[in-house]
Each structure stands twice: as C-alpha cells, then as structure tokens.
Amino acid sequence: MHVATPSAERRGLSASSYRVIAWLAFASLYIIIVTGALVRLTGSGLGCVDWPACNEQQFVDVSTPHAAIEQVNRLFTGVVAASVIAAMLAAFAVRPRDRRMIRLAFLMVVGVVGQVVLGGVVVLTGLHPLSNMAHFLLSIVLMTWAYWLVAPTLARDRHTVARNPWRNLLAVRSWSLQRSNRLVTLGRVVILLTAVAIVTGTVVTGAGPHAGDESSPRFDYAIRAVAKVHGASVIATVAVTLCLGLAIRQAGAGRKLQNTFEGFLFLAVLQGGLGYLQYFTGVPVLLVAMHITLSVAVWLGALHLWRAIPRHPMPA
C-alpha cells in the first residue's frame, strides 16, 4: 500500500523554474511588438500580400527586403506562441497550484491566437488603421496579462498581488480623495489616463505618415488636431502623476513606493519629450520606433506603480 509523503505531494515544477518560463513569454510578447512596429516603419506591411501564406506562389518568401522583414515577423509569432503555450502548460505543474496563474497563462494563449487572426485581418484589409489599432491594443492587453503573471516573482511578495486586478482597478467604491484613500484613487486615475494616452497615440499613428505601405488607407483626421489631443492626454497623465507623488510624500509612504513612483514619472516625462521631439522633427523612423517601444514600458510602469500602492486605507 502506497502512502503519499509530504515530499511527493510537493513534487512538481518549482516557482524559480516557472519564473524563467514566464519571463521568456513576457519577453517574447514585448519583442513581437517591436518587430511589428519595424515592419510598419520600414514600409514592409504588405511585403507579404496574402495570409497565412506570404503570397499565392510561396508560403514563405524572402525574395525582397520587404517580404523578408514581414516574413521574419510572422515566423517570430511562432516563437511567441510556443512561449505562451509553454507558460500555460507549466502553470499546471507548479506546486502549490495557483488558479490565477493558470488563468492568466491561458488568457495569454487565447490572446496570441487573437493576434494571429488580427494579423490576417491587417493584411487582408490592406493595413487599415483600425485593424492596426486593434492589433497594437491587443498587444497591450497581452502585456498586461504577462505582467500580472510575472509580477509575483519580482520580489516574492504574493501578498500584495490582487487576486482579481481588473476588479480591483475598476471597483466603483472608494474613489474619494480623502487622505485615507487618496493614493488608491490617484493611482486608478493614472492608470486610466495612461490607457487614454496609448489609445489616442494609436489614432495619431493611424493618421500619420508611417502606414506600412504607400497604398495603405489612413484616418481622415488632421494630424495636428489628433496630435494635440494625444499631447493633452499625456500632459494630464503627468500632471495627475505629480499629484500622486505629492500624496505619496504626504502619506509618508515607504522608499519602495517612492522609487516606483519616480521610475514611472521618469518614463512618462521621457516618453512625452520623445513624442514632441518626433513631432517637431518630422516623425523620423528611429524616433517613432523608440516612441512605440517606450509606450509599452510606460504602460508596464503604470501597472507596476498601481501594484505598489497599498490597498488598505492610509492613516488619516
């Protein structure tokens, strides 16, 4: 008769091993955003004119520079898919089992499948800006899930991680600016304004010159007008972040929260300055690529700041 021992019950994938798998998925999701941006910025968006094959003659075609760039991005999607599938399968092996971890890993797999489908829509619609917007914004959602998956491994502080981050963020209660709840409220506003800035940024991109192909449609908006709206959302984000910083100081928060705040403020100001620089220099490709890459870092910084804010009321 076999008797289970404590060591047998604990047998499974260690948290440290899973950490490597989760971070690889996180990194691959970030890299595919950058390579996707480079496809558009190099005018290679229609380097492959068909989907899922590159064209009617070849499934894989690297005969031209544009086709090669687009093909590499498509092939790297396979790396992304493999990494998120590995993260999902490995989540089942971690002991003790964490349903939240499994759920997030599963959502990442579903999201990558959605990205593959959206990638086909982007090509079949001739790089319509709406499909490009959806493609990028889904990437932001995927990065959010990936961050929530790896966040508990940042400092082994699982007790600070909300079991349902969306519900915690969007909860109707406790939106007051009373001193005991001011940090939570301002943190929520920073997250929401950062999201607005990212969405308006995609609209600017959809009206701008880097369409991915000369024949691609663009939004019929005045670039100056949408850029002003986007700029205003960025300024509002920085302004509320400064208010949050003041509230953090007044609350006597710990050094860890202050450092997290300063890191996000640095990223937000850097991103805003880079945006104005690219606008006034004629949106050169290199600066646009840096702006897109940094936009993801800003969003992750906002999530990290929100996570660092204590959920319990601060002393009045």
Per-residue pLDDT tens for 19-32?
999 999 999 999 99
Q: Is residue 63 part of a domain?
A: yes
Q: Is residue 167 part of a domain?
A: no
Q: Are residues 99 and 213 in the same domain?
A: no
d(CA 24, CA 84): 9
For position 96, what pLDDT does the model report?
Answer: 84
Residues ≥6 apart with Cβ < 8 Å to 54: 47, 48, 60, 61, 67, 70, 71, 74
For position 43, what pLDDT does the model report?
Answer: 85
Q: Are residues 82 and 211 in the same domain?
A: no
d(CA 228, CA 220): 16
76: tokens are 């790297």
Q: Are residues 223 and 255 in the same domain?
A: yes
Per the structure, the complete domain to which residue 101 belongs is given by 13-152
Q: Is residue 129 part of a domain?
A: yes
Q: Which residues of the chain fall short of a pLDDT of 70?
A: 1-10, 153-180, 312-316
Boundary of a domain, candidates 152, 184, 203: 152
User: Cα-Cα-Cα-Cα dihedral of 246, 248, 254, 258, to 10°?
Assistant: -60
Q: Give the up-direction half-sphere exposure of residue 253: CA atoms within 13 A in the CB hemisphere.
A: 28
Q: Are residues 143 and 278 in the same domain?
A: no
Q: Are residues 36 and 133 in the same domain?
A: yes
Q: Are residues 131 and 191 in the same domain?
A: no
Q: Are residues 64 and 187 in the same domain?
A: no
Q: Are residues 95 and 207 in the same domain?
A: no
134: tokens are 């959806």
Residues ≥6 apart with Cβ < 8 Å to 58: none
Number of domains the chain is built from: 2
For position 174, what pLDDT does the model report?
Answer: 59
- Report yes or no: 88 and 94 within 8 Å, Cβ to Cβ: no
The model scores a pTM over 0.85: yes
Q: Is residue 242 part of a domain?
A: yes
Q: Are residues 219 and 84 in the same domain?
A: no
Residues ≥6 apart with Cβ < 8 Å to 211: 40, 45, 127, 129, 217, 218
Boundary of a domain, candidates 119, 152, 185: 152
For position 153, what pLDDT does the model report?
Answer: 54
Q: Are residues 95 and 224 in the same domain?
A: no
Q: Are residues 193 and 107 in the same domain?
A: no
Q: Are residues 315 and 190 in the same domain?
A: yes
Q: Is residue 157 part of a domain?
A: no
Q: Is residue 201 part of a domain?
A: yes
Q: Residue 129: name the closest of 224, 74, 53, 210 by CA.
A: 210
Boundary of a domain, candidates 99, 119, 152: 152
Q: Is residue 113 part of a domain?
A: yes
For position 313, what pLDDT does the model report?
Answer: 54
Q: Is residue 121 part of a domain?
A: yes
